[in-house]
């Protein structure tokens, strides 16, 4: 199933726009569409918070990475400041998604 995204007003695809696409192209009512999008992102968020990686076939992988503490520097004052250990989310696009982006003719840096 293919979704027409060209008509969207902003360059970023929002949750509200995704829900609207479900309403228009799948036939769910607006409340169901919004609830489905919210549930989808809540599930992804909860999995990542629990430390689980999220793999979406044909799209990519969201992974939790623990960054070690390191010394940093305040760029304004030059003062040394410690940067604490933290967890970050990384995203790696699948080969299929990368091929689609390259084949789309959208010459981007990323």
pLDDT, residue 2, reads: 55
105, pLDDT greater than 80: no
Q: Are residues 59 and 98 in the same domain?
A: yes
Q: What is the pLDDT of residue 84?
A: 95
Q: Is the pLDDT of residue 19 over 50?
A: yes
Residues 57-73: tens digit of each pLDDT: 999 999 999 999 999 99
Judge if pTM exceeds 0.85.
no
Query: 13-30 b/e with 16+ CB inside 10 Å = b?
Result: eeeebbbbbbbeeeeeee
Dist. CA 14–CA 34, nearest whole Å: 11
CATH of the domain at 76: 4.10.520.10
pLDDT range class, residue 53, cuts 50, 70, 90:
very high
Containing domain of residue 59, as a range?
A: 53-105
Is a pLDDT exceeding 90 seen at residue 5? no
**Structural domain count, the chain:** 2
pLDDT value at 11 more than 90: no
Q: Tell me the pLDDT band of 110, cut-offs 50, 70 and 90.
A: very low
Q: Comparing C-alpha atoms, which of 60, 63, 52 is closest to residue 88?
A: 63
Residue 73 included in any domain: yes
Does one domain contain both 71 and 99?
A: yes
| pLDDT tens profile 86-96 | 999 999 999 99
Residue, of 10 and 93, whose pLDDT is higher: 93
Give the count of beta carbons closer than 10 Å to the beta carbon of residue 97.
Answer: 14
């Amino acid at each position: 199933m293919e979704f027409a995204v060209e008509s969207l007003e902003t360059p970023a695809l929002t949750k509200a726009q995704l829900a609207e696409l479900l309403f228009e192209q799948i036939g769910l009512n607006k409340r169901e569409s919004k609830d489905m999008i919210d549930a989808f992102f809540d599930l992804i968020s909860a999995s990542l918070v629990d430390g689980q990686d999220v793999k979406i076939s044909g799209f990519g992988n969201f992974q939790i990475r623990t960054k070690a503490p390191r010394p940093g520097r305040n760029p304004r004052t030059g003062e040394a400041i410690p940067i604490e250990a933290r967890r970050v989310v990384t995203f790696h696009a699948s080969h299929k998604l990368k091929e689609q982006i390259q084949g789309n003719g959208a010459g981007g840096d990323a």
